[in-house]
Amino acid sequence: MSARPRVWVTQPVFGDVLARLDPYFDVRVEPTVAPRGAGELREGLRDVDGALVFIPDRIDAAAIAQASRLRAIANVGVGYNNLDIAALTAAGVLATNTPDVLTETTADFAWALLLATARRVTEAERWLREGQWTTWSFELMLGRDIHASTLGILGMGRIGRAIARRARGFGMRVLYHNRSRLPPEVERECAATFVARNELFAHSDHLVLVLPYSPQTHHAVGAAELGRMKPGATLVNIARGGIVDDAALADALAAGRIAAAGLDVYENEPAVHPRLLALRNVVLTPHIASASEATRRAMVALAVDNLVAALGAGPHAGRPPNPINADALLARGPRSA
């Protein structure tokens, strides 16, 4: 039996980047992309020291309880609501994520969705491809202006601020809400004004969601919040499924309560609420906000660095760049090698 630590990678991504694990570990990379169910994740984690996992992999308490060798989980992604952090910490398993490297690419994509949603880009293309463009009409596909309008950002963290910075070019007024207000110099740099949560819904022409998913943010945007939005406003969600109540959103869009929505994430993804699928005034993308080639490679590279260091190897042994639960080390008992 090998004395080297064992590592499991749940998707076959960028082989040249994953190869950087090889000098240190016995690595098993899943050969196919497939949803990994609870049973498969339990089995995969049972005999390994570390794993490199992705957003669809739900690492729950049951899997962690059976993973007696596990010491590190490197999540490829900045959001980590797929991990049971309390259970990992109690078990002495260090978890890491990949912030910063995806900030600008994700902010670019928020703008792609915002522009497509407000100016009806995908709706117009679908209509044209359906052969419906027989006469040019002056009032065809009238959209909502972006320039000189008010952009609202719920979740003004790394990505929210990058979205705000881009708004300058469109001459927009930027409002934001966080649980805690940003320092004045950051507000100045983003040219953004802090407002109460209800004010954000009431005054935004275009509202972008960029906050993490947690039990506290579950259905943070439901019927009541949608009801507070301006008639004709648009909503963009690049944050996480579950933050928006998808059924309530479908109601608001169908009723014309708000003009349109751009969604990259969904409550039950990859399943999309059938009523959202049936609507024309919604732009739907398959959770790709960070998906430029350079950024996806950088995310995997950072997750590799995190895993190597978290398992006590490489130049930064024991000091992974992006620990989520550094206190896990305090809980380490017999499973620490």
Ligand X SMILES: O=C(O)C(=O)[C@@H](O)[C@H](O)[C@H](O)CO
* Active centre residues (catalytic): 240, 269, 287
Among 101, 159, 259, 282, binds ligand NDP (CB under 6 A): 159
Question: Between 102 and 250, whose beta carbon lies closer to ligand X?
Answer: 102
Given ligand X, ligand NDP, none, residue 312, with its beta carbon under 5 to 8 Å by kind, binds: none
C-alpha distances out from residue 184 to 47, 49, 193, 211, Å: 50, 44, 10, 20
Least gap, CB of 61 to ligand X (angstroms): 21
Among 48, 74, 76, 233, binds ligand X (CB under 6 A): 76
Q: What are phi and psi of 2, to 5 degrees?
A: -70, 145
Encoded tokens for 118: 């407000």
- Quick note: the x/- pattern for ligand NDP over 95-114, rule CB under 6 A, is ----x--x---x--------
Least gap, CB of 148 to ligand NDP (angstroms): 26
Contact between 304 and ligand X by CB under 6 A: the answer reads: no
Among 115, 241, 100, which residue's Cα sits nearest to residue 162?
100
Least gap, CB of 80 to ligand NDP (angstroms): 8
CB 289 within 8 A of CB 264: yes
Given ligand X, ligand NDP, none, residue 321, with its beta carbon under 5 to 8 Å by kind, binds: none
C-alpha distances out from residue 130 to 122, 127, 135, Å: 12, 5, 14
Among 48, 51, 63, 102, binds ligand X (CB under 6 A): 102
The DSSP line for 36-87 is --HHHHHHHHHT-SEEEEETT--B-HHHHHH-TT--EEEEESS--TTB-HHH
Contact between 158 and ligand NDP by CB under 6 A: the answer reads: yes
CB 85 within 8 A of CB 59: no
CA dist 182 and 71 (Å) reads 35
Q: What is the CA angle 266-268-273, rounded to 5?
A: 70
Given ligand X, ligand NDP, none, residue 211, with its beta carbon under 5 to 8 Å by kind, binds: ligand NDP
Q: Which stretch binds ligand NDP (CB under 6 A): 213-221, 244-252, 266-274, 276-284?
A: 213-221
The DSSP line for 165-198 is HHHGGGT-EEEEE-SSPPPHHHHHHHTEEE--HH
Contact between 120 and ligand X by CB under 6 A: the answer reads: no
Tell which positions 238-267 bind ligand NDP, by CB under 6 A: 238-240, 264-265
Given ligand X, ligand NDP, none, residue 42, with its beta carbon under 5 to 8 Å by kind, binds: none
Among 51, 102, 112, 110, which residue's Cα sits nearest to residue 78?
102
Among 63, 88, 172, 211, binds ligand NDP (CB under 6 A): 211
The residues binding ligand X (CB under 6 A) are: 54-55, 76-79, 102, 287, 290
